[in-house]
Amino acid sequence: MSVLKAQRSVSKMEFVNCAGEIYDETINFLTRLSARYARLVAEPIAKLAGEVEDHAEKANSIYPSDDQRRSLRKAHLLEARASLMALDTRLSKCYRIMNLNPEGCFTTSTGRQVESGKAQEKLDKMAQRLGDLIDRENELLKGQIKKF
């Protein structure tokens, strides 16, 4: 029998799942950059998103059975949060760049550019989704860190 949605609690592993979503959404977001900018900014941003996911996975794989393991787990949680904050800053800069020419970020199935208004709306939705995920992951990581 399943649990009613109102009675569900946050899974202890939710910070790992959210980190994975952030990585996927970040890659999707970065693919919208023009080639001119992608060469310069995409790789370091993708690396930060990977660090968030990697440190979340590492922290989750360490069972805190003694002081050394608790310390190591907390260190990975702190690293994940630090990478998350750096990722947030870099993505906001990337969004500003993309906002200069939003129609250049999207094409239709026939290869034409999407009109400016629709492109801006799509870009805003993508940025909002990423921002919401980052805020959620930040709260989840802070909750895990407080346990130590």
Structure tokens at 29: 């977001």
Q: Is the pTM of this model over 0.95?
A: no
Q: Taking the CB of residue 119, how many other CB atoms lie within 10 A of it?
A: 20
Backbone angles phi, psi at 101, to 5 degrees: -145, 70
**What's the gap between Cα 47 and its chain centre?**
11
Going along the chain from its start, the domains and CATH numbers come out as: 10-146 (1.20.1440)
Q: What is the band of 110 on the pLDDT scale with cuts at 50, 70, 90?
A: confident
- In tens, the pLDDT along 46-57 reads 999 999 999 999
Q: What is the band of 109 on the pLDDT scale with cuts at 50, 70, 90?
A: confident
The pLDDT, as a whole number, for residue 2 is: 60
69/63 Cα distance (integer angstroms): 7
Structure tokens at 100: 């200069």
Quick one: what percent of the chain has pLDDT higher than 70? 92
The pLDDT, as a whole number, for residue 148 is: 84
4/7 Cα distance (integer angstroms): 5
The pLDDT, as a whole number, for residue 10 is: 55
Q: Which residues, 6 or more positions from 55, have their beta carbon under 8 angstroms from its beta carbon?
A: 76, 77, 79, 80, 83
The predicted model gives 83-101 an average pLDDT of 95
Q: What is the band of 106 on the pLDDT scale with cuts at 50, 70, 90?
A: confident
**What's the gap between Cα 41 and its chain centre?**
16
Identity of the amino acid at 123: L
**Which has more pLDDT, 92 or 12?**
92
Strands, E assignment, 22-139: none
- In tens, the pLDDT along 33-44 reads 888 888 999 999
